[in-house]
Amino acid sequence: MVIKTNISALTASRNLLENQDSLSRSLGRLSSGSKLVNPSDNAAGFAVSIRLDAQISRISAASDNIGNALSFSQTQDGYLKKVAKALDRMGELAMLAQDNTKSDVDRGLYNNEFTNLQNFVSSSASRDFNGVSMFGGNSFQVTIDSDGAMFNYSAINLTTTTFTTVTGGTTDIATTSNAATALTRVKSAINALASERATVGANQSALNMYQEQLGTLKDNLSAANSRIKDIDVAEESTHFAKYNILVQAGTAMLSQANATSQSVLRLLG
């Protein structure tokens, strides 16, 4: 029997410390929900997870930018719908003013409404969205991915000669000849507006596609990141129970190993 060194107690102590360390790591994983509590748990996976987290955050920001651009585009189209309605009515008034069975007094009444609609179209051209002109003819860039790639948002311009001629003071329907000229100008404006609304639709379609693409990419990257760092609670709970039992058993065995040295006293007695 060895007196100076209790080999059994040393072995039991080492095993107990190892199991306590494993139990502590398992508890940390369960409480955090992550397999990567410390970089040492999986150094390479830890680095990959950090990069994925950063990319996912950038994707969310890019998606927000696209969402704002879509709101801008939808607001644009809302105004353009009303402008189209005003131009339709202006064309109708110009046609009515060409009726020779009506007097100049009648045409003057039509012209009052025509003038009010001119002012409406003219004021719409100066509208903005959060300080950004919607119809000034200025295009802008929209971020569409996590690397900062850009989509060129095509400009909408209601300040061209086609529109300003219709809303200018030289266009009226006070006489039949003026009404005929006004009708020609209104028809040109309607054609131009149709092209502008088609441009808005093309912008919206592209932005929707980019947003859907980002959503799919974010989902896939999140799934990949989850496989790296998220724990399987059922599996980890099993490990935790195992290490908990081993720690309790190790504590009992260490106590038993220390107790065996007491038998030496009997020999000495």
The residue extents of the domains of the chain are 7-33+232-268, 43-229
Per DSSP, the three-state class of 259 is helix
Task: Give me the CATH code for the 43-229 domain, please.
Answer: 1.20.1330.10
> Can you give the pLDDT at residue 225?
87
Split at pLDDT 50, 70, 90, the class of 238 is confident
| Residue whose C-alpha is closest to residue 231's, from 42, 16, 54 | 42
Mean pLDDT confidence for 190-208: 95
pLDDT above 90: residue 45 = no
- Comparing 94-98, 112-116, 154-158, 259-263, the range with the smallest average pLDDT is 259-263
Handedness of CA 131, 132, 134, 135 (dihedral sign): positive
Q: Which token pair is 230? A: 């998220």
Question: Residue 143 forms beta bridges with which residues?
Answer: 150
With bands split at pLDDT 50, 70 and 90, how would you rate the model's confidence at 39?
A: confident
134 vs 23 pLDDT, higher one: 134
- For residue 81, the model assigns a pLDDT of 96
Q: How far is CA 171 from the centre of its chain?
A: 46
Q: How confident is the model at residue 89 (pLDDT cuts 50, 70, 90)?
A: very high
pLDDT level of residue 229 (50, 70, 90 thresholds): confident
The rounded mean pLDDT for the chain is: 86
CA–CA gap between residue 261 and residue 183 (Å, rounded): 114
At residue 20, the pLDDT reads 75
Q: Give residue 57's identity as a one-letter amino acid code.
A: S
Q: What pLDDT, on the 0 to 100 scale, is given for residue 269? A: 56
Given this model, what pLDDT does residue 201 score? 95
Query: Per-residue pLDDT for 241 more than 90?
Result: no
